[in-house]
């Protein structure tokens, strides 16, 4: 029987942070947004047009993703360009888009 390295299970904050990221990705609209952002950085108008959704709905999902540190927005003139910055979220999206 292999010995278990207990130190990998002692980081409660890390596990809770990972769970929050995974929970944030659990909505179909947010997954679609991240799939688009995985391909290229986008502004909110580009996102809602491609998703065929109202701007306010997309903006609400972007706000949640930004609040949880999954994406960031950088200002480019009058628009905000979004991109994925969380490594765990990026890995999950990469795995899902390869299927």
Give the per-residue pLDDT at 22: 93
Per the CB < 8 A criterion, the answer to whether 18 and 70 are in contact is no
Ramachandran angles phi, psi of 76, nearest 5°: -130, 90
The count of other CB atoms within 10 Å of the CB of residue 24 is 20
Q: pLDDT at residue 3 above 70?
A: no
Domains of the chain in start order, with CATH, are 14-97 (1.10.10.10)
* Strand (E) or helix (H) holding 34: helix 28-39
- Please check the confidence at residue 99 and state whether its pLDDT lies above 90: no
Ramachandran assignment for 69, one of left (phi > 0), alpha (psi -120 to 50 degrees), beta (any other): left
Q: What is the mean pLDDT of the chain?
A: 89
Question: What confidence tens digit (pLDDT) does each residue in 48-81 have?
Answer: 999 999 999 999 999 999 999 999 999 999 999 9
Cα–Cα distance measured from residue 41 to residue 77, given in angstroms and rounded to the nearest whole number? 15
Decide: 10 and 4 in contact? Cβ < 8 Å.
Answer: no
- pLDDT value, residue 97: 86
């Amino acid at each position: 029987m292999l010995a278990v390295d207990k130190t990998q299970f002692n980081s409660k904050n890390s596990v809770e942070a990972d769970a929050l990221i995974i929970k944030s990705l659990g909505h179909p609209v947010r997954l679609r947004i991240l799939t688009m952002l995985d391909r290229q950085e986008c502004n909110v108008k580009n996102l809602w047009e491609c998703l065929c959704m109202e701007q306010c709905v997309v903006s609400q999902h972007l706000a949640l993703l930004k609040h949880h540190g999954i994406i960031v927005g950088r200002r480019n003139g009058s628009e905000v360009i979004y991109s994925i910055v969380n490594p765990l979220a990026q890995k999950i999206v990469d795995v899902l888009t390869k299927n």
